[in-house]
Each structure stands twice: as C-alpha cells, then as structure tokens.
Chains A and B, each alone.
Chain A
Amino acid sequence: MANKRDYSIGKIIFRSITAIIFIFLLLPTLIIVLSAFSPTEYATFPPQGFSLRWFTAVFTDQAWVLAIENSLKIAVVTIPIATIIGTLAAYGIYASNFHWKSGLQAFVLSPIMLPAIILGISFLYLATAFGLLGSYTIIAAGHIIVAIPYVFRSVTNVLVGLNKDIQRASMILGATPFKTFLKVVMPNIISGVFLGAVFAGITSLGEVSISLLVSSSQTVTIPVQTMNYIDQTFDPSVNAVAVIFIIIAIVLITILEKVAEKNKIDVF
C-alpha cells in the first residue's frame, strides 16, 4: 500500500486523529504513573520531584494490606476454577453437534453482556438469601462468573484454528474422548488456555461492580478499597496502588500479545 497517496493531506489528517486517540487512551495511565511518584500531597503535573513515599504508605497501611491480601486470595481461587470451567465448556461446545450450540455459546458469554448493576444486585440478593453476604465465597463466585466468558473466548479462538483430523485420528486409534482431549487437544490449545487464565486474573483483580455490593469490611478487595478511598480523600497512595496494577497489566499483556503472535491467534 506504500504509494504516493501516503503523503496526501487526507493521510496526514487520518494519522493525526489516530495519534490523538492513542494519546487519549494512554493519557490517564501516564498521569497516574507520574503522580504516584510525586513527593507532594496533591498530584501535580509536571511532577515536582521523585519519591516512593506513597508506595511505602500503601504497604504500611493496614487497610491496603488487607485489601491486597483479599484480592490475591480471591484471584488465586478464581483463576483455576474459571480457567477449567471455561476451557472445558469451550471444547465441549466446539466438538459437539448439538442443535443449540450457538445458544449455549451465547449463554456462556452472557455474564459480560449483562448490565453490571443487574448482575451486582442479583448477587446481593443471592448472598442475602443464602447468608453469604460479605463472604469470600460469594465474591469469588462473582469473579468466576465474569471471568468464564473471557477464558471461553480465548480458548474458542484457538480451537477454531485447530485441525479436526488429529482428534479423529486419535479416536480411530482407540483413545477415549477424554484421553483425546487431555493428550491431543490440550497441548495444541494450551496457549489459548494461558491467555484465558491471564484474562481471568485481570478480571478478578479489577472486578468492582459485584464486589462493592457483596463485600464486608473484612473482605474488601483492592478496587473496593480504592472506591472507599476516592470517596473520602484525595490521597496519592491510590496512585501508587494504580501503578502496581498498571505494571502487572502491562507485563501480562506483553506476554499475552507475544504468546498470541507466536501462535498466530487473536487476543480476542
């Protein structure tokens, strides 16, 4: 596509708008990172110096430490369960000949389509009805429900590119469907499963719509604690927490994109 048109006014306008959009997407992250290292009480731009005091503040504050612990505990439960359920469902639906295949697919994906407040409120009622309000169980269940669709999507994306002949070969050679899945299919879709697990982790660490409604003061997660903080104060330690989040996200997404590119699959 490299022809003379590349330098026309139209192209210049197009590229400028694209650049502005990328800056728009990046700007908040950038500003958060800069103000997290700011030595002053109020986030300033440009920063007045460099300081790690807000990071120290986070790790010495009881409330933040509790929130970080809770978030990690819940993520550790969410990731394997969501990954297993999502992967099995993706393969089962992909390999089946059910008439209601696309309906099932929509069903598994529906938790991310459902307006967040509705999912949150119904979880509140579920928790109240079963006496689970404020428990780790109900928060983890909420995280798993919203993480499953991401795992399902990533795994379905790799499965679509998979050669169906190898499964047939394996079955003809006498392997049970279960053994075929474990020994033949699994090694081929492991990259998609990994992507799904990463997404499950990110979803769990960032989930707030359900957590805010069903958590108690003992089970606050990082985003819930952040909400409480923003409501009360304008404290740069929130920035420090955000930076920790952003670093984790960037590392994960770089791995994700590399894995995806190596295996020639779409991230989504």
Chain B
Amino acid sequence: MIRKDKTNFFLILPAILFLTAFLILPLIILLLMAFRSSGNSIVIDDTLTINNFISIFKNQSFYSGILNTLKLSAIVSIVCIVLAYFPALTLVKTKGNTKTLLYVVLLSPMLTSVVIRVYSWIVILSSNGIINQSLMKLHLIKSPLSLMWNSTSLVIAFVQVLLPYAIIFISNSLTKIDNNLFRASNSLGASALYTFFHVILPLTIPGILSSFTLIFSLTAGSYITPMLIAGHQKQVMALTIYQQAMQIMNLPMAAALSVVLLLVVILTIVITNYLGRLWEVRVYGK
C-alpha cells in the first residue's frame, strides 16, 4: 500500500507544484503587498504597516461598497437558487434528445465568454438597444428608458450568467432523490406543493448550499460584469479593487482591499453553510 500511495503522490505532484506556483505564491505576494505602505506604486519600501487597513476602515465609501457587494451577491444567489428548481425538475424528468437539447440551451450561455454574455445584455438594454428601439418604434415611449446602469440590470446580467451553475447543482441533488419518495408522497395524497416543500426542498439542501457558495463567491469577485453593466454608478468592492490597481495604481491598497474582500466572502460562506447544516439537522434529526 505504501508503494502504491507513493505512486499516487507522484501523480498529484504536478498539480500541487502548479497550484503552489500559481495560486499559493501569488496569494502570498498579495498578502505581503497588503501590508506595504501605499502611495508610490513603483518603489515600494520594505517596511510592513497596517495603515492600508486603517484607512480602509476609516473610509465611509468602503462600507457602502461592501454593503453593495454583500447585497448584490446575496440577491443574485437567492434568485438563481429559486429559479433553478424549475429547469432542474424538468431536466431530471426528461430523457434522450430532448434532454440533450435542454442541456445545450442551458449550458450554451455558460460556454461563451462572460464578456460576450454581458455584452448581449448591453445590446438588449442600452438606450439604443433592442428594448428601447422596439418601444420607440411602437410609439409607446418618446425618449429611451434608462434600463442600464442600475442594480436591476446588474442582477439580471449576473443571474443569466450564473443560473446554469445553480441548475446543475440542484439537478444533481435531485437525481440522488429516490423516485419512490415522490410516488409515496403523491399516493399519500400530498399536493405537488406540499411534496416540494416537505420532500424535495429538504433533500436538496446540499445543492442549495453548493449553489450559494459558488454563486456568492463568483458574484462578489466579478469586476467584469459591474464594469460593463453598471459603470461607476454602483460601486462594488471588486470594481474598487480593479480601479485601485489599474487606474489609481495604488497596488498596496488594492491588495489590502482584496484581503478584506476574501475574508468577507469566506465569512459569509462559512456562516451560510453553518446555518444550512442546522436546517438539515432540524429536518433529519442528527
């Protein structure tokens, strides 16, 4: 067995080395950078300081940024999870070519670049976009409606991009449910809604938690979508970090903000997963 595990270790080694060089090392550099004094970005002196963090927590706009991020990520995750049940339930019941077709529809947005997907919402929502053009041609409105640059359009774009993940997680959870449970619940006279809330929902808690974890983290970390859809109207942390690094060129500050964002995301995910476990325990007992 020892010889076998040695071989296995050598198989995993390339991944470990690669991840160390291109995930751990960059994160360490990021962490060190967060404690460098900010200001001059080209010459960064070697003394370590917590000044970056102090000025972050003193700044009012930081709190609105973090609140925006948390709110946006939570709303996107919840909307995705709720909506995911409809296609997921349909998906587990279909077979053959229909299923392939549904999968293609479902996954096609996931397989095109996020830039393209967000761009298509610009084509739809912008002032000379499709909705406004159509409404104006129909003489329903005189001047273009302002559909972009607000949080609703941001949520719409995020949900369209991330919904497939939730559908996959929820339908994976659903396929694990014994079909007899549905039949039992049905034959005992339970309505479809009752079956959903008392059988399906509790059994898909793991799917809900995985969806929340992934979607929350992806939303909180995305700077591309807010940059393209909301511009500077809606300041989220990911975008602030991007601007600090690329426009203001304050690398230590961007690093410090990244560390804070990472901690906030991890904390939220840990808390939600803990609450989810509690919910599961309440449903099943221990």
Contacts and interface: CB of A to CB of B under 8 A. Distances in A.
A117 B267 CA distance: 17
B134 A45 contact: yes
Interface in B246-261: 246, 251, 254-255, 258, 261
A77 interface: no
A42 B15 contact: no
A91 interface: yes
B29 interface: yes
Interface in A220-265: 222-223, 226-227, 230, 234, 238-239, 241-242, 245-246, 249-250, 252-254, 257-258, 261
A205 B109 CA distance: 14
Contacts of A219: none
Interface string A86-113: 1011011101111000001001101111
A87 to B, nearest CB: 9
Nearest to B6: A177
A253 B15 CA distance: 26
A245 B112 contact: yes
A89 B14 contact: yes
A169 interface: no
A145 B115 contact: no
Residue from B22, B27, B100, B213 having most chain A Cβ neighbours under 10 A? B22
Contacts of B33: 125
Residue from A35, A92, A267 having most chain B Cβ neighbours under 10 A? A92
Interface string A114-148: 11111111111110110000000000011011001
B29 A116 contact: no
Contact of A118 (B21, B22, B128, B221): B221
A197 interface: no
A59 B217 CA distance: 37
A258 B100 contact: yes
B265 interface: yes
Contacts of B245: 121, 124, 213
A7 interface: no
Contact of A92 (B11, B114, B115, B221): B11
A205 B220 contact: no
Contacts of B228: 227, 230
Given A22-B87, A230-B122, A242-B116, A121 B255 contact: yes
Contacts of B120: 28-29, 31-32, 242
Contacts of B214: 112-113
Given A28-B117, A181-B11, A22 B105 contact: yes
The binding surface of chain A is classed by DSSP as helix
Given A21-B87, A118-B261, A253 B111 contact: yes
A111 B111 contact: no
Contacts of B237: 117
B185 interface: no
A118 B15 contact: no
A177 B4 contact: yes
Interface residues of B, number: 91
Contacts of B113: 205-208, 222-223, 226, 245
Given A28-B120, A113-B214, A126-B25, A97 B105 contact: no
Contact of B100 (A43, A116, A120, A257): A257
A50 interface: no
B162 to A, nearest CB: 11
Contact of B192 (A5, A26, A145): A5
Contacts, number: 282
A223 B100 CA distance: 28
Contacts of A21: 83, 86-87, 163
B172 interface: yes
Residue from B16, B108, B114, B262 having most chain A Cβ neighbours under 10 A? B108
Given A10-B193, A22-B87, A115 B262 contact: yes
A92 B8 contact: yes
Interface in B4-51: 4-5, 7-12, 14-16, 18-19, 21-23, 25-27, 29-30, 33
B148 interface: no
A260 to B, nearest CB: 9
Contacts of A246: 108, 112, 116
A18 B222 contact: no
A42 B164 CA distance: 30
Contacts of B164: 25
Contact of B251 (A96, A116, A125, A261): A125
Given A85-B18, A111-B23, A176-B7, 9 more contacts: A98-B9, A104-B12, A110-B23, A115-B217, A117-B222, A145-B23, A242-B112, A246-B108, A257-B100
23 contacts: A8-B192, A25-B163, A85-B14, A89-B15, A89-B16, A95-B4, A96-B12, A111-B19, A114-B262, A117-B221, A118-B221, A119-B23, A122-B27, A125-B26, A125-B29, A125-B255, A126-B26, A141-B21, A177-B3, A222-B113, A252-B111, A267-B107, A268-B168
Q: 3 smallest A-B Cβ distances: which pairs?
A: A115-B221, A92-B11, A28-B120
